[in-house]
Amino acid sequence: QAQFVESGGGLVQPGGSLKLSCAASGAIRWYTMAWYRQAPGKQREMVAHIMSGGGTNYADSVKGRFTISRDNAMNMVYLQMDNLKPEDTAVYYCNRYNQLTLLAWGQGTQVTVSS
C-alpha cells in the first residue's frame, strides 16, 4: 500500500510554475516532512523540508524559488515551485525527513522543464 501519493507534475517552460501535492495515507502531524527529487542518472536529493511546527529549510539550489507547506488536518504536503529551471527536471517524491524513519516511496511525479 502506497504511503504517499504525489501529483501535480508536468511539462513546463523555463520560468514557469507548478504546485506539487503529496497525500499521505497516515498522520503526518508529528513528523518533519520533506520533498525529494531524483534526476536521471543522479542520486535522490532532498530539496525542502518542513517541521511539524511549520519551520522550513531549503536546498541552496531551490532557495527563493520553491515553497514547502503542509496541512496536518488533511495529511497533505505541498511544494510550490516558481521560476523553474531545466535543472529542476526530475521525479519528485515526498517522505519523512528523518532518514531512519523513512516510509516506502511512492511513485513520484515527473517534472520536466523544457522549452
pLDDT digits (tens, 9 = 90+) for 3-58: 999 999 999 999 999 999 999 999 999 999 999 999 999 999 999 999 999 999 99
Taking only the tens place, the pLDDT of each residue in 46-100 is: 999 999 999 999 999 999 999 999 999 999 999 999 999 999 999 999 999 998 8
Residues linked to residue 50 through DSSP beta bridges, in sequence order: 33, 56
pLDDT for residue 2: 57
Torsion angles phi and psi, residue 73, rounded to 5: -65, -35
Please give the grid coordinates belonging to residue 109: 511525479
Please give the grid coordinates belonging to residue 1: 500500500
